[in-house]
């Protein structure tokens, strides 16, 4: 069996320490870039209207991307280019089992393509999200981790404002993924107080 003298052991521990420190710094750098330490500003404003071309999705909100891509690619095949993905999320993941979460995901139709609604309706569902008073927050898209970090940070902040203002329970949350502007827009329609 190989025996290491104390000098060799110190060298190995020193190398191991440097490697672990480098990994820690790399992890912190990646998470910082993804937005882990980004501050979230919540505002109340009128937003909309939006025309959402979508398909229904049941299951984890983290698994909506294939359905969203299917709508985006289907629209491209029709000669319709969209620039913003979107989702309407009906259930609170803290209250509803993951496999029962309901959402409608797809793309926001640009104004220049509104004359193609009849063509689109033959393949996809269409929903108008009306202009309405909402709680709004934005989060930067810097890499794939941004999509994982954002909901935890943003919804926590929105929930705090929601409770402070004593708004009625939201019927849904609406998210817009504006990749060209590198941001996710979170919208919670306020509704009316009783």
| Segment 60-98, tens digit of pLDDT | 999 999 999 999 999 999 999 999 999 999 999 999 999
Domain borders along the chain are: 42-189
Q: Could you tell me whether strands 50-58 and 132-140 are parallel, antiparallel, or unpaired per DSSP bridges?
A: unpaired
Cα-based distances in Å from 150 to 19, 34, 183: 29, 9, 10
Q: What is the pLDDT of residues 24-34, one digit of tens each?
A: 888 777 666 66
Pick the CATH number of 42-189 from 3.30.1130.10, 3.30.1440.10, 3.20.80.10, 3.90.550.10: 3.20.80.10
Is the pLDDT reported for residue 166 higher than 50?
Answer: yes
Q: What is the pLDDT of residues 108-127, one digit of tens each?
A: 999 999 999 999 999 999 99
Q: How many CB atoms lie within 10 A of CB 97?
A: 9
Please give the sequence-ordered ranges of beta strands (E in DSSP) within 48-182, or none if there are none: 50-58, 84-89, 102-108, 125-129, 132-140, 173-178
**Residue 170, exposed/middle/buried by CB under 10 A (0-12, 13-18, 19+)?**
buried
The HSE-up count of residue 64 (CA atoms within 13 Å, CB side) is 27
Nearest to 159 by CA among 126, 105, 32, 151: 151
Is the pLDDT reported for residue 102 higher than 60?
Answer: yes
Is the pLDDT reported for residue 194 higher than 60?
Answer: no
């Amino acid at each position: 069996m190989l025996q290491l003298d104390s000098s060799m052991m110190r060298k190995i521990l020193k190398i191991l320490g440097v490697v672990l420190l480098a990994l820690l710094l790399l992890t912190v750098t990646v998470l910082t870039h993804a937005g882990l330490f980004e501050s979230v500003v919540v505002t109340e404003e009128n937003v909309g209207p939006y025309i959402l071309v979508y398909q229904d999705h049941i299951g984890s909100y983290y698994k909506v991307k294939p359905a969203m891509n299917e709508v985006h690619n289907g629209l491209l095949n029709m000669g319709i280019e969209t620039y913003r993905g979107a989702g309407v999320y009906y259930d609170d993941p803290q209250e509803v089992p993951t496999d029962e979460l309901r959402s409608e995901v797809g793309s926001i139709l640009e104004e220049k393509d509104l004359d193609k609604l009849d063509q689109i309706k033959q393949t996809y569902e269409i929903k108008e999200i009306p202009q309405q008073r909402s709680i709004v927050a934005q989060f930067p898209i810097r890499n794939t981790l941004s999509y994982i970090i954002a909901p935890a940070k943003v919804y926590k902040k929105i929930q705090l404002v929601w409770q402070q203002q004593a708004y009625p329970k939201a019927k849904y949350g609406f998210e817009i993924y504006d990749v060209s502007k590198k941001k996710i827009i979170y919208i919670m329609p306020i509704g009316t107080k009783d």
